[in-house]
Structure 1
Amino acid sequence: MKQTYLAAALAAALPVTASAHFQLNYTESLLVDRPGEVPMGLIFWHPFENGHVMDMGVPQEFFMVHNGERTDLSDRLQPQRFKGATNDAAAYSATVPVKRSGDYVVVTVPAPYYEESEDIYIQQIAKVVLNRNTLPTDWDQPVGLPTEILPLNKPYNVITGSTFSGQVLADGEPVPGAEIEVEYMAAEPDLSGFSTTAPVAQPMAGGAIVAIADENGVFTFGIPKAGYWGFAALGSGPLREHEGKELSQDAVLWIRAEDLK
């Protein structure tokens, strides 16, 4: 295997119309101390810019995987309006039942979103991994999605200043040369008010941060700051068309980095 590329060395500008669309499966912490219902916000947003919020349609799927067992959570979805800095848009809230120790891989398969400025549809299939009692069970296993990013480091145990690696898959196979857009959640949602908060960082001057996967679909990114980091493999999915128009079917993974104390 050739050496993977550090995304920090591959920062590049993208066209404005293509930048920073990110599907969020957001909760305050990925580490769960005690059994209970974990609140989550499903939001389609520009969190690095604290920018425009896009309307979500009814998700096609919302589920979790724990100890290899899939549980449908779609009956837990509640329509909401998320208040961004410049607009508000349709979003969803939900609760995730976390009882036993181990990993809980939470997946949102959203309805395709029509991006009028580009005349294309975007579908960002998003994963986030919760954990209770530090027992690893599912984080390093694919979920079987049309496209997904498989973590190669524990996604809830990342140290600021270290690196994170992932492998882009489509129908279970590596995607060589996949383009991965990297997003920092500079403004984390306030789930109690279902609104944005003040950002703690500004977007890069050079535009969206981009990494290119190697021939095995593997990429590596150096984590410079604590908080949530999102990775979106653009157009990595097998579907290319929706309702007669181009579809970008993307794989999204969120991780959380913490400072070493």
Structure 2
Amino acid sequence: MAITPRLLQALAAVTFGCVSCAAQAHFQMLYVKETALSRADDLEFAIVFTHPFSAGPTMAMGQPRAFSHIGSHSGEQTDLRHYLRPVQWQSRGNQASAYRASIPRALVRSLGDHVFVLEPEPYLETEEDVYIQQFTKLIVNVGGVPGNWSEPQGLPVEIQALNKPYANWTGGVFRAVVLADGKPVPFAEVEVEYLNHSVDIANNVFGQHDYVTAPQPAFKSLSTYADAQGIVSIGLPRAGWWGIAALNIGATKTHKGKPLSQDAVLWVQARDMK
């Protein structure tokens, strides 16, 4: 039987299909209380690998490989790893290693966009015997001055925003392009999950109260696909935080002899119109 490109693509999908399954509902959080600031302020980050709709279980994080800030106007990248400090994060049902970071006001003093990027150490999902690595972006704006919110950051995998991630009304639609090595990924599998509880950064714990109740498990983590141009459109039906993850799109498919899912994550904040 001739081995055609289409057949090879199908075989690859079967081989690595389990990787996408393992990555489902896992979200690397890169959380701050507010992303649209009137003026510069200190930023307190919670960096937790978890299931945001259900407030857990939370997975133990290793030391992040990179944590950086890209300025709005200069484009200069600043290494933030020295701000990271390990914590034990309490979610519902378990406690696991996570990180906090206190970023000083001086770093975000300029008006415009400030891009924060996290490259975590791959996490071994023991139930499926695969690694998951989620390259995660969060964009903070100061003063309403637009900047580099739509610019890709040259990551192996990333989600390039087509709408400002920090300026969305409830009920609106958020659009983005899924990228791998800077190129759009046609028909990428995408998961969307709502942060369904409060985040108590000071005490390293998730709140016990759910904002909404899922009528059935499929509603906890929503699935869709990018189109032929790699563009994905996401509805934002409720105010708060929405995590968007494009699954298993990286070129690197193995880590330490096991399958690897390299995912891209972008966090989007929506607000009620009052």
d(CA) in 1 for partners of 2:190, 2:184: 14
| Aligned twin of 2:101 | 94
Aligned 8 A contact 1:48 1:201 in 2: no
Q: TM-score, normalised by structure 1?
A: 0.91
| 1:17 CA drift (Å) | 5.0
- Identity percentage over the alignment? 42
Aligned 8 A contact 2:250 2:262 in 1: yes
d(CA) in 1 for partners of 2:150, 2:22: 33
| 1:37 CA drift (Å) | 2.0
d(CA) in 1 for partners of 2:68, 2:27: 19
| 1:16 CA drift (Å) | 7.8
Stretches of 4+ aligned residues off by more than 4 angstroms: 15-18
Q: Which of the residues 24, 45, 48 maps onto 1:40?
A: 45
3-state SS of paired residue (1:75): helix
d(CA) in 1 for partners of 2:123, 2:246: 16
- Note the residue ranges of structure 2 that are not aligned, 5 or more in a row: 1-19
| Aligned twin of 1:244 | 257
| Aligned twin of 1:187 | 197
3-state SS of paired residue (2:42): strand
Superposed counterparts of 1:61-72, under 5 Å? 61-66=66-71, 67=73, 68-72=75-79
Aligned 8 A contact 1:48 1:203 in 2: no
Aligned 8 A contact 2:50 2:57 in 1: yes
| Aligned twin of 1:199 | 210
Note closer, same or farther for the CA distance 1:16–1:170 as it changes in structure 2 (3 Å cut): closer
| Residues 29-88 of structure 1 deviation map (CA, whole Å, 9 limit, x = unaligned) | 101233232100100011101220000000000001112211110110001111101111
Note closer, same or farther for the CA distance 1:204–1:58 as it changes in structure 2 (3 Å cut): farther
| Residues 79-128 of structure 1 deviation map (CA, whole Å, 9 limit, x = unaligned) | 11111011110000002331111111111100000000011000011101
| Residues 161-183 of structure 1 deviation map (CA, whole Å, 9 limit, x = unaligned) | 11011100011000011000001
Aligned 8 A contact 1:44 1:55 in 2: yes
Superposed counterparts of 1:14-29, under 5 Å? 18-29=23-34
* Higher relative helix content: 2
- Note the residue ranges of structure 1 that are not aligned, 5 or more in a row: 1-14
What count of residue pairs does the alignment treat as equivalent? 247
Which amino acid in 2 is paired with 1:79?
P
Q: TM-score, normalised by structure 2?
A: 0.87
| Aligned twin of 1:178 | 188
